Each structure stands twice: as C-alpha cells, then as structure tokens.
Chain A
Amino acid sequence: MADVNRGNRPLSPHLQIYRLPMTARLSILFRITGVGMTLGALLVTWRLIAGAVSPEASATADAVLTSGLGNLVMLGSLWALMFHACNGVRHLVWDAGFGFDLATAEKSNMIVVGASVVLTLLVVLIIR
C-alpha cells in the first residue's frame, strides 16, 4: 500500500499554521512600521504647520498630540521610527555584504529589537 507510513512523514508547511521565523516577522514589521509612520509624519507636519498658522491652531495641535490617544500614537510612532532605523541600519550592513547568513541574522534580530526598545526609552527620558 502506498500510504502505510502516512503518519510519520513530514507535512509541507501551510501558510495558516506555519510559524514564521523571527527574521520573517521582523521583515514584515519593517514594512508595517514604514507604512505606519505615514500617520506620525502627518501629525508632526500638522503640528509645525499649525504653529506657523496661528497661536490658536498651534495650541490645538499641541493639545491633540499630547492627549491620551495623542501620546499613545506619538509613543508608537517613536518606537516605529527607532525600530525602522535600527532594522534599516541592519539592511545597510546586509547591502554592504556582511551578516547575511542565518545564524548571524538570528542574533542581529535580538539586537535590533532590543536597541529599538532601549532607544525609545532613552528618547522618552531625554525629552521628559
């Protein structure tokens, strides 16, 4: 019979149950943070334009950006910026021809994630 040993054969991974490796997750996150920062860029530009338009518009923009939701969005944008910058540096290193083997990439995963959190906290400490 053809399928006597069916239970022990490896199954090919399916997209819905396949556990993505960390390298793939961070690659997707690199894109998501890049696209997501469109919102942060709009808010920051609004804050500066409002400052140029009138003191009233300026106060409104400042209040919205530092409201509860505003703080959350700005903190999220800051982390997105730090993560995108750290992973971007890793991409530049890869482009230069270094660290592109899997073992090194798995180590630099942790460096990128750790550095993005540390830099975010550092900036928050400096500006508060």
Chain B
Amino acid sequence: MAYKTDYARVRGLGSAHEGVGHWWTQRLTSIALIVLTPLFVIPFGRALGNGHEALVATYSSWGHGFVAAAFLLVGAVHLMHGLQVVIEDYVPNHSLRTALLVANTLFGWTLGAAGVLGVATLLFSA
C-alpha cells in the first residue's frame, strides 16, 4: 500500500472509485436468497397448475405472502446487480452501455415492485 496516497487509502474506493457496495450487496442478497429460495419455490410450485383458487389459498397466508414478497424483492435486486455486471462486461459502446444500465435499473425495481404488489394484493383481497 506504499504507492497509495493517504487520501486514496482513507477514501477506500479502489480503482473503480465505487468502493465495495455493489460486490457486498450481491453477497448479502445471495445469502438471503439461499434461505428464501426453498421457502418460496415449494409453495409456489405446489399452487402452480391448480388454478386461481390454489394460488389464492397459498397467498392468503401471511407467512407465504411475506416470504414471497421478500424473495421477489431481494431476487429482483440480486438479478439487477448481476445483469449490471454482464452489461458492463460485454457492452463497450458508452452510450449504449449507459442506456442499458439505466433500463436495467428501472427494470429491476419495476420487477421487484410488481412482484410485491401482486403478492400484497393476493394477501389483502383474500
């Protein structure tokens, strides 16, 4: 670290000037998803193919509703962070890259919000 200025070391943002926020969020959401994935996939899969009544029966429960909302929101944030890295790796054109990164962020939060809204509506209208 002898080659770093004191200022750069104290800021701690590294060569990308962004710090570890993106990396750390990706890790934290992945740990949450290890727990949430089976808790979401099994009830969702059980209701799948059994019509509207089975879906309502599953998601009229607070437990399933909460797990589903958490899974969909955390999953959307994790997906958005992952797609961001893929765009940054494979799209060298600056304008196109910026446009895709903006679209990706809007897509990620919209997907998460839509999932939470769907689950909340199922819970409160039951």
Q: Min CB distance, B66 to chain A, in Å?
A: 14
Q: Which residues of B contact A91 (CB under 8 A)?
A: 30
The reply to whether B117 and A49 contact each other, CB–CB distance below 8 Å, is: yes
Q: Which residues of A contact B68 (CB under 8 A)?
A: 48
> Dominant SS at the B interface?
helix
Q: Which residues of B contact A49 (CB under 8 A)?
A: 114-115, 117-118
- With A59-B51, A89-B34 as contacts: A52 and B45 at CB distance below 8 Å: no
A31 at interface by CB-CB < 8 Å = yes
| Docked complex Cα distance between A114 and B45 (Å) | 22
What's the tally of chain B residues with a CB closer than 8 Å to chain A? 37
Q: Which residues of A contact B13 (CB under 8 A)?
A: none
Q: In the complex, given contacts A65-B48, A127-B45, what are 8 additional A-B residue pairs having Cβ atoms less than 8 angstroms apart?
A: A45-B118, A47-B55, A48-B72, A49-B114, A49-B118, A52-B117, A65-B49, A88-B30
Q: Contact residues of B with A, CB < 8 Å?
A: 27, 30-31, 33-34, 37-38, 41-42, 44-46, 48-52, 55-56, 59, 68, 72, 75-76, 79, 82-83, 86, 111, 114-115, 117-119, 121-122, 125
